[in-house]
């Protein structure tokens, strides 16, 4: 089984209460939220009868959860997974088909809706770890491509089958795939529409680690818990620097932008002082919510 080495991080509690400074958004349609470790949010897509395909209402729920994550100071990182045999089959194609009948207002069609980018095109401030428990197809695969760390079950399958349905993968995966796997592999993946295994996704660099299905959420939470032990300000700043280089800027410009924005704010906060003081005093730092 192809796999990267396990991170040296603590095993979190399976479930715990997590007081937040603001209440989480309502998620009656699609998502279940929990807090499996300190400063970690677990987001579970819960529509197994439809392979966790996302209706427009479900996408609005996702949008509200990621905005809340970025604004909630008690949280540093999220994990996303699915219920059942799928991570997510992507957009609800039945709803999309019905929306095509609305010739009077094309803006209402699913592919044009503002919510049609809840994670696949999310920039955001805080990292998201994918725990891919099964099928990750279409928009579900685009979610994975945009996540910061990906743990996949051995039987997980990834694909962009949109071209087989007369659609195209326009949720943000294509330019990101080129940066991750290269033009030729990205072209093979997107234009053929054929799925790839978790093992191949690992070889291509899309997946960090492949594990048995019954461990996929646990491993993803372990990664998240390790990240969440660090300074909330530093997590946001470091991720911003990575994203600047990955998504848009030349190397030196990416450094300059991060220095001018996130690092400048980091230096105004309490966490940098606490981290340096804790190092000098040989103790574990006590972090405050991020100011970034």
| CB-count exposure of residue 282 (10 Å: 0-12, 13-18, 19+) | exposed
Q: Which of 130, 125, 66 is nearest to 289 (CA)?
A: 125
| Active-site hit among 78, 130, 131, 142 | 142
| Active-site hit among 124, 139, 159, 241 | 139
Cα Dmax for the chain: 67
Alpha-carbon span 292 to 288, nearest angstrom? 12
Residue 238 bears catalytic tag? no
Please report where in the chains the tokens 């053929």 appear, as a residue. Answer: 192
The dihedrals phi and psi of 185, each to the nearest 5 degrees, come to: -65, -40
Continuous H helices in the chain: 56-71, 93-99, 139-146, 173-181, 183-192, 198-204, 216-228, 232-247, 251-258, 264-266, 270-280
Please report where in the chains the tokens 């094309």 appear, as a residue. Answer: 106
Alpha-carbon span 234 to 229, nearest angstrom? 11
Residue 162 bears catalytic tag? yes
Alpha-carbon span 7 to 47, nearest angstrom? 31
| Active-site hit among 72, 162, 219, 262 | 162
Q: Which of 75, 15, 61 is nearest to 218 (CA)?
A: 15
Residue 155 bears catalytic tag? no
| Active-site hit among 91, 156, 220, 228 | 91
Residue 142 bears catalytic tag? yes
Q: Which of 76, 2, 91 is nearest to 237 (CA)?
A: 76
At residue 18, the 3 state secondary structure works out as coil
Q: Which residues are catalytic?
A: 91, 139, 142, 162
């Amino acid at each position: 089984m192809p796999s990267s080495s396990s991170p040296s991080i603590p095993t979190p509690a399976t479930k715990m209460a997590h007081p937040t400074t603001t209440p989480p958004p309502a998620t009656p349609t699609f998502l279940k939220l929990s807090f499996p470790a300190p400063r970690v949010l677990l987001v579970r897509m819960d529509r197994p009868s439809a392979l966790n395909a996302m209706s427009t209402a479900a996408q609005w729920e996702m949008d509200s959860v990621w905005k809340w994550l970025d604004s909630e100071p008690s949280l540093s990182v999220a994990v996303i997974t699915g219920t059942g045999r799928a991570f997510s089959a992507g957009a609800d194609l039945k709803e999309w088909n019905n929306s095509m009948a609305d010739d009077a207002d094309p803006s209402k069609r699913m592919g044009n809706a503002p919510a049609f980018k809840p994670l696949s095109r999310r920039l955001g401030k805080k990292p998201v770890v994918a725990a891919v428990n099964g099928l990750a197809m279409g928009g579900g695969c685009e979610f994975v491509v945009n996540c910061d760390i990906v743990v996949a079950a051995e039987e997980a399958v990834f694909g962009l089958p949109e071209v087989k349905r007369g659609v195209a993968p326009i949720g943000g995966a294509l330019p990101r795939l080129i940066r991750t796997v290269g033009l030729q592999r990205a072209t093979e993946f997107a234009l053929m529409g054929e799925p790839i295994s978790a093992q191949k996704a690992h070889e291509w660099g899309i997946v960090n680690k492949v594990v048995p299905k019954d461990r996929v959420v646990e491993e993803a939470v372990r990664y998240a818990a390790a990240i969440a032990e660090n300074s909330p300000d530093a997590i946001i700043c470091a991720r911003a620097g990575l994203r600047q280089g990955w998504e848009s800027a030349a190397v030196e410009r990416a450094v300059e932008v991060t220095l001018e924005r996130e690092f400048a704010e980091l230096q105004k906060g309490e966490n940098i002082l606490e981290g340096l003081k804790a190092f000098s005093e040989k103790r574990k730092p006590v972090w405050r919510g991020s100011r970034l």
